[in-house]
Structure 1
Amino acid sequence: MFEPTRRQLLQGGIAAGLTVAVTSALGDPPAYASGTGIHPFRVAVPRRQLADLRDRVAATRWPSRELVADRTQGVQLAAAQALAHFWTTRYDWRRFEAKINALPQFMTEIDGVDIHFVHVRSRHTGALPLIMTHGWPGSVVELLETVGPLTNPTAYGGTAADAFDLVLPSIPGYGFSGQPTGLGWDTSRTARAWAELMRRLGYPRYVAQGGDVGAAVTDALGRLAPAGLLGIHLNLLVTALRSTAGLPKNTEEEKAADAALEVFGATGGGYLVEQSTRPETIGYALLDSPVALAAWMLDHDTDSYRKIARVFLGEASSGNLTREHILDNITLYWLTGTGVSAARGYWEGMHAGGGGRIPPPVTVPVAFSAFPGEIFQAPRSWAQSSYPTLSYYHPPDRGGHFAAWEEPGLFSAELRAAFRSLR
């Protein structure tokens, strides 16, 4: 994985110059007393690993061109080759390394696994603590552009009363967090770890947010209902993704959502089947070939990933989905060697124990944002049926599956509105 080891990367906190920037713009970086089990973390990838990445991309053995004029056979050769060319000639990992090292990062062991997290306290008094969970094939990268708007809202069109203290953990098996060495790390176990993390950080009251896999973790956290959890916000209706049985299908919005789910099930779930049933098999490609990893991560029938393909074909970026930000995420997976450990999370979800028991309901207030570019735009009736405690519902006019990544300003405004009543 890393050379030096992950433990050796826990070096004395954040570089002094970068700490000054964080302090002046966002508030004092958190400091933890000895005995809390929380240690500063800093990224320092050896040069030889970056050189090896470039060499592997340059040595890619390319497949023949697809036999269709669209994406129905998968990631198109032209897009993959354009990505590879940009990766080896223009992409700069050190730029991202400096960016993430400018934020307060920490590591703590929970339930036998090292958990990496970014923790940014707002400079505004009375900020509401918020833990946000990324998805797959995402990471904390997809959430970083929301740090400023959420923790320092007065600089982004909000008010001091909208401020959040922000906690961004990496799911076990993703990014800089440790890779589980035993079975059982499903979304419910991750939710329990998040509850422990917020307790360890000293937050008696907090809210939670998630999309994609993060929505499943946040849903599980809502059902766990740990002490101090005030409410949750989701931008993917995971209950409907699992099953639409019992949901109304009468209005045009309901019929459109149901049809979109049918299309996704028929054409967009190849990765889901493979990772839920044979994650180790695809893992050989994900750990051996950077281009195989990139293609696997880009092969999704969602609006966001169609935009990503267009970005590498030379078209204009969509919101925050730039070539650099996309490759920050892919490169993070490569350098941490987490392609297979992240994929195993889907297998864990498929094999999670439960004995057919009906999960407990979510009793805390639930907020939902139905972004139009999602796999399906969940109608209010579906959100209300899934979560009787629904307290906020809004369909923004733009944004896709990775809304925080694609439209960080709009996404941050949604969270301010969603949680305003819980402050």
Structure 2
Amino acid sequence: MTQEIRPFSIAIPQADLDDLIDRVARARWPHHPAGGDWSRGVPVDYLKQLAEYWAGEFDWRAREAQLNEIPQFVTTIDGQDIHFLHVKSQRPDAVPLLMTHGWPSSPFEFTKVIQPLVEAGFDVVAPALPGYGFSTPVNEPGWGNLFRVAGAWAELMRRLDYSRYAVHGTDAGSGVSLLMPVVAAEHVIGVHLSGTSPALPFGPPIDTDGLTGEDLRRAEHFNQTQQDGIGYLHIQATRPQTVGYGLTDSPIAQLAWIVEKFKEWTFPASKLPQDKVDIDQVLTNVTIAWFTQSGLSSAHAVYEGMQVYRQMAAQQGDGDQAAWGPSAPVGYAVFAGDDTIRSLVDPAGQIAHWSEFDAGGHFPAMEVPDLLAADISTFFDR
């Protein structure tokens, strides 16, 4: 088995770019009820305007060139090509930092935090989860199992000759990150997390008795989200192949599928997604998903991950992430739009670092990159 690490540059064929623009131009738009709010999903008028910008003004080639300024590589682990960013600090005492993104994203979610972290003394390694971004195509089922991904990440860091390293993860990447001390206990300095959940999305609602202030607000928001905000997760966790046909064949479907989350998960809730995030960065994320067909493969990863998650929850009796028992110090960055509640994720008081912020949401690397980079640095400065 080759352990070669190969340089990588993004080079989308012009024919694929022309096809994307043509498909958007020929989109078949639905009839829709009067009104333009988001209560039933992404409004048609808004999506039309965004699609016109995507096909007409958004400059993929310029974005591609910018992304290619970041050192990128591919290596094959357990038969799967893994794409990753690797940006080294000039400091001789630099600390390797393994960063894992979540859904619906890619390692380019971290674009705005990489340089501050490098300047703070980290060598940043940011792989794409199998089935996401350029870690495609997926050669066999099973890569949604976060244990398998964590094992692959440990092998990646070994190939890069890093014997001790820090870990950060968000969303699904937080699950991978919590498993790193399990699969590579002697190598992990600590684990820093964001975008976590206080309970299982398909489990019972949070009992709000005894909660006050921000914890009560977060619990009520989580319970409401369980009721009307996880339709996407139900579909991907049960019928990924079915929804995947639309995501693979229609750029409009892929655009709506992702941009809705930047409306719902940023904080504070805004009228439009671009009020909180750089819309070109969002469209870069969508465009990568389209070109790599990772709408379908990431949906399959969600499906497989939820199967494992449910099995673990059944064995442990709850969905408490602290029950996973990492052997390294753990730190949490809880942004204003997050629902994470300390008493639920840390009932034994074992978490080494806990920060709460009054800004930012589920995408802190895009919304409040300076806050995220500073908190990562603070935790690992310990």
TM-score, normalising length: structure 2: 0.90
Shift of 1:297: 1.2
Give the equivalent residue in structure 2 for 1:261: 222
Give the equivalent residue in structure 2 for 1:11: none
Give the equivalent residue in structure 2 for 1:390: 351
Once residues 130 and 336 of structure 1 are traced to their aligned partners in structure 2, the CA distance between those partners, rounded to angstroms, is 26
User: Does the 8 Å CA contact 1:79/1:309 hold for their aligned counterparts?
Assistant: no
User: Does the 8 Å CA contact 1:66/1:77 hold for their aligned counterparts?
Assistant: no
Tell me: CA distance 1:311–1:273, structure 2 relative to 1, closer, same or farther (3 Å).
Answer: closer
Shift of 1:61: 0.5
Report whether the alignment pairs 1:224 with 2:191.
Answer: no
Give the equivalent residue in structure 2 for 1:125: 92
Report whether the alignment pairs 1:169 with 2:130.
Answer: no
User: Does the 8 Å CA contact 2:206/2:223 hold for their aligned counterparts?
Assistant: no
Q: How does 1:282-301 map to 2 (within 5 A)?
A: 282-300=243-261
Give the equivalent residue in structure 1 for 2:81: 114
The SS at the match of 1:182 is: coil
Q: Identify unmatched segments of 5+ residues in structure 2.
A: 317-322
Read off the aligned partner of 1:109 and give its amino acid letter: T
The SS at the match of 2:74 is: strand
Tell me: CA distance 1:246–1:223, structure 2 relative to 1, closer, same or farther (3 Å).
Answer: farther
Match of 2:298 among 342, 345, 350: 342
Once residues 51 and 299 of structure 2 are traced to their aligned partners in structure 1, the CA distance between those partners, rounded to angstroms, is 23
Match of 2:151 among 192, 197, 206: 192
Q: How does 1:323-362 map to 2 (within 5 A)?
A: 323-352=279-308, 354=311, 356-358=314-316, 360-362=324-326
Once residues 328 and 362 of structure 2 are traced to their aligned partners in structure 1, the CA distance between those partners, rounded to angstroms, is 24
Give the equivalent residue in structure 1 for 2:330: 366
The SS at the match of 1:240 is: coil
Once residues 333 and 411 of structure 1 are traced to their aligned partners in structure 2, the CA distance between those partners, rounded to angstroms, is 25
Shift of 1:112: 1.0
Q: How does 1:391-410 map to 2 (within 5 A)?
A: 391-410=352-371
Tell me: CA distance 1:66–1:400, structure 2 relative to 1, closer, same or farther (3 Å).
Answer: farther
Read off the aligned partner of 2:357 and give its amino acid letter: P
After superposition, what is the alpha-carbon deviation per residue over 1:257-292, rounded to whole angstroms, capped at 9, x for unaligned? 221111111111010000000000011100111011
Greater displacement, 214-223 / 163-172: 214-223
The SS at the match of 1:106 is: strand
Once residues 309 and 181 of structure 1 are traced to their aligned partners in structure 2, the CA distance between those partners, rounded to angstroms, is 40
User: Does the 8 Å CA contact 1:298/1:305 hold for their aligned counterparts?
Assistant: no
Once residues 247 and 140 of structure 1 are traced to their aligned partners in structure 2, the CA distance between those partners, rounded to angstroms, is 35
Q: Percent identity?
A: 37
Q: How does 1:69-84 map to 2 (within 5 A)?
A: 69-84=36-51
Tell me: CA distance 1:293–1:68, structure 2 relative to 1, closer, same or farther (3 Å).
Answer: same
User: Does the 8 Å CA contact 1:190/1:217 hold for their aligned counterparts?
Assistant: yes
After superposition, what is the alpha-carbon deviation per residue over 1:40-93, rounded to whole angstroms, capped at 9, x for unaligned? 111111111111100000001001234455211101112211110101111011
Once residues 267 and 149 of structure 2 are traced to their aligned partners in structure 1, the CA distance between those partners, rounded to angstroms, is 26
Read off the aligned partner of 2:175 and give its amino acid letter: A
The SS at the match of 2:131 is: coil
Give the equivalent residue in structure 2 for 1:141: 108
Shift of 1:306: 8.3
The SS at the match of 2:243 is: helix
Once residues 356 and 267 of structure 2 are traced to their aligned partners in structure 1, the CA distance between those partners, rounded to angstroms, is 20
Once residues 26 and 187 of structure 2 are traced to their aligned partners in structure 1, the CA distance between those partners, rounded to angstroms, is 52
After superposition, what is the alpha-carbon deviation per residue over 1:106-160, rounded to whole angstroms, capped at 9, x for unaligned? 100111100000001101121111111111111112111111100013xxxxxxx
Give the equivalent residue in structure 1 for 2:210: 250
The SS at the match of 1:168 is: strand
Q: Identify unmatched segments of 5+ residues in structure 1.
A: 1-34, 154-162
Tell me: CA distance 1:238–1:198, structure 2 relative to 1, closer, same or farther (3 Å).
Answer: farther
Match of 2:168 among 209, 223, 230: 209
The SS at the match of 1:103 is: coil
Give the equivalent residue in structure 2 for 1:100: 67
Once residues 290 and 305 of structure 1 are traced to their aligned partners in structure 2, the CA distance between those partners, rounded to angstroms, is 26
User: Does the 8 Å CA contact 1:286/1:339 hold for their aligned counterparts?
Assistant: yes
After superposition, what is the alpha-carbon deviation per residue over 1:175-218, rounded to whole angstroms, capped at 9, x for unaligned? 11133232222122111111111111111111111111111211
Tell me: CA distance 1:221–1:388, structure 2 relative to 1, closer, same or farther (3 Å).
Answer: farther
Shift of 1:303: 3.6
The SS at the match of 2:73 is: strand
Tell me: CA distance 1:331–1:305, structure 2 relative to 1, closer, same or farther (3 Å).
Answer: farther
TM-score, normalising length: structure 1: 0.82
Once residues 364 and 194 of structure 2 are traced to their aligned partners in structure 1, the CA distance between those partners, rounded to angstroms, is 8
User: Does the 8 Å CA contact 2:193/2:331 hold for their aligned counterparts?
Assistant: yes
User: Does the 8 Å CA contact 2:185/2:327 hold for their aligned counterparts?
Assistant: no
